[in-house]
Amino acid sequence: MVARASRTTRPVVPDRVEFRTTDAGESVAAGVIQSNQRDVEVVFGKMARGLFYWRHGVVQPVDTPIVVSVPSPKMFNHLSEVLLKEVPVQRFGWDIWWVTSSEPPRDGLWLFLVFGAVPVYVATGMAAEKGAKIPRPHPIIVKT
């Protein structure tokens, strides 16, 4: 636990710096960070389960399968288009926005957006079992 806590106070150092194209077509230096998959799973898995309880008043069973990942931009666009047709975006604090399609007792798709920049995808229950999985985490890109 001490090791995990110490990581939260360290400055985030990009794994590498690349040039990326902005929406305006300009090339800018951008840090590329490989997310620590275990940390992403722990934090966002607990957030999704807590919000599931808050929304439905039911605790998901402990054995509920769960998939958590930082999705690619293409996957994020697809998920947000699907989910935003069903439900509005909600806020969790000032820095996390989320949207979900979930049904008790186990099933749910969650899409979080942290600091308006980093998307995180969570699938629980049948969505996790039936292949709504992302093969590997996509790197987080920090434009400077």
Q: pLDDT 10s digit of each residue in the chain, 144 long?
A: 445 555 555 555 666 677 777 667 777 777 666 667 778 888 888 888 898 899 889 888 888 888 888 887 788 888 888 788 877 888 877 778 888 888 888 888 888 888 777 788 888 888 777 655 554 556 666 555
DSSP type of residue 132:
-
Q: State whether the Cα torsion 92-98-102-105 is positive or negative.
A: negative
Half-sphere exposure of 87 (CA within 13 A, CB side): 17
- What sign results for the dihedral spanned by CA atoms 84, 103, 119, 97? positive
Determine the Cα–Cα distance for residues 80 and 64; give it in Å rounded to an integer. 23
Q: In terms of pTM, does the model score above 0.85?
A: no
Distance CA 65, CA 58 (A): 16
